[in-house]
Amino acid sequence: MKKYNISVIPGDGIGKEVMPEALRVLRAVADIHGGLKFEFDSHPWGCEYYLEHNQMMPEDGLSRLENSDAIFLGAVGYPKLVPDHVSLWGLLVKIRRGFEQVINVRPAKQLVGIQSPLVNPRDFDFLVVRENSEGEYSEVGGRIHSGSDEIAIQNAVFTRKGVERAMEYAFKLAEQRQGYVASATKSNGIVHSMPFWDDVFRDVSEKYPDIKSDSFHVDALAAFLVTRPHTFDVIVASNLFGDILTDVGAAIMGSIGIGPAANINLNGKYPSMFEPVHGSAPDIYGQGIANPVGQIWTGKMMLDHLGETELGDKVLEAIEGVLEDGIKTADIGGTSSTTEVTDAIIEKLKSVCKV
């Protein structure tokens, strides 16, 4: 019996609603397979934990996660209770940085059974490689003075190592896909870090003569994801640009509640972390209507990462089958609840695994 130890952090808001559903799907996967088992170790960390303990996770939080095969996370943030920068940096970013999860891979593709908000989406299928360890997400800076003299300075940090490894990762992915990498820049407005980003992109692209490469200012690229998403294959972007582009990617699939993500540790020293693109959605929390597809598809990415790609593919097949049957949550035009969609996915999974 193969056993995978998974650290589970449902987190806040709808993270607490979609996580149990994704775990049900993974348990069903294990049952169907028969020869593998998941050991889920769940941690109640997040904003409510913060109110009690004044920190988002315990002091030894990272060491409690360190030996797991993967970390499965829901969402972090409860802005009414805790400022967002405190909650994000106290948990999600702490794990990304502490465990050197330097790459964030986020696919967007047209799923069978979902109407994209685009009138003519064609068959788009692209991956965003988001630099996940530095860039605009930086603690370097500060605030001084007050009143009308108040000043805020936020320094972005771009290192050759960090930029290069994100781009290398993107080119390697493109080699296994359509052979095309697009870089998101903004070297017209951001005069130091983005020309540097472009230089590194040029250097890395020269190592991959068989891969087509292009550079776009991120504003234009965001527009192209709306007007012609089918022309992209792999997109490499800085931490902030990648964050924004992947919400666009999820939106053109049909809903922010669908997009999956993988925070990848490349050096093998620490576990990788899997969490959907969406946040804690306080506006719909508690109503049982959150779309579980983002969390469940994220579970598929975790299965792929563990080497269980066949099972991962079955999960996506089951998701698409259920959407095609019209069993959907309200964000994508349906009337089903979070639980009903998950029940249907589990039933579908049993049938797609039989054939």
Ligand X SMILES: NC(=O)c1ccc[n+]([C@@H]2O[C@H](COP(=O)([O-])OP(=O)(O)OC[C@H]3O[C@@H](n4cnc5c(N)ncnc54)[C@H](O)[C@@H]3O)[C@@H](O)[C@H]2O)c1
243 contact choice in K ion, ligand X, Mn ion, none (CB below 5 to 8 Å, kind-dependent) = Mn ion
Pairing of strands 262-265, 273-274: antiparallel
Return the number of the residue (9 or 277) whose C-beta is nearest ligand MLT: 277
**23-27: long-range pairs with CB below 8 Å, 24+:** 23/72, 24/342, 24/346, 25/296, 25/299, 25/315, 25/342, 25/345, 25/346, 25/349, 26/299, 26/303
Task: Select from 279, 299, 312, 321 the one that contacts ligand X (CB under 6 A).
Answer: 279
Return the number of the residue (141 or 288) whose C-beta is nearest ligand MLT: 141
Residues 52-111 contacting ligand MLT, CB under 6 A:
88
Return the number of the residue (243 or 304) whose C-beta is nearest ligand X: 243
- Phi, psi dihedral angles at 315 (to 5 degrees): -60, -45
**DSSP characters for 72-104?**
EEEE---TTTS-HHHHIIIIIHHHHHHTTEEEE
Return the number of the residue (22 or 111) whose C-beta is nearest K ion: 22
Does 246 help bind ligand X (rule: CB under 6 A)? Answer: no
Return the number of the residue (76 or 262) whose C-beta is nearest ligand X: 76
Contacts of 112 (CB under 8 A, 6+ apart): 320, 321, 323, 324
Q: Is 136 helix (H, G, I), strand (E, B) or coil?
A: coil
Residues 218-247 contacting Mn ion, CB under 5 A:
243
Size of the site for ligand X (CB under 6 A): 24
Does 134 help bind ligand MLT (rule: CB under 6 A)? Answer: no
Residue type, 114: I
Per-residue contact track with ligand MLT, 277 to 316, x per CB under 6 A? x---------------------------------------
CA distance 44 to 46: 7
Contacts of 57 (CB under 8 A, 6+ apart): 43, 45, 49, 90, 91, 94
Residue 160 C-beta: closest distance to Mn ion, Å: 25
- 96 DSSP β-pair partners: none
290 contact choice in ligand MLT, Mn ion, ligand X, none (CB below 5 to 8 Å, kind-dependent) = ligand X
Task: Select from 12, 243, 308, 331 the one that contacts ligand MLT (CB under 6 A).
Answer: 243
Residue 239 C-beta: closest distance to ligand X, Å: 13
Return the number of the residue (245 or 323) whose C-beta is nearest ligand MLT: 245
Return the number of the residue (31 or 84) whose C-beta is nearest ligand MLT: 84
Closest CA to 39 of 26, 52, 54, 58: 26
Pairing of strands 125-131, 70-75: unpaired
Return residues touching ligand X (CB under 6 A).
14, 18, 75-77, 79, 84, 88, 92, 255-257, 275, 278-284, 290-291, 294, 331
Return residues touching ligand MLT (CB under 6 A).
88, 243, 277
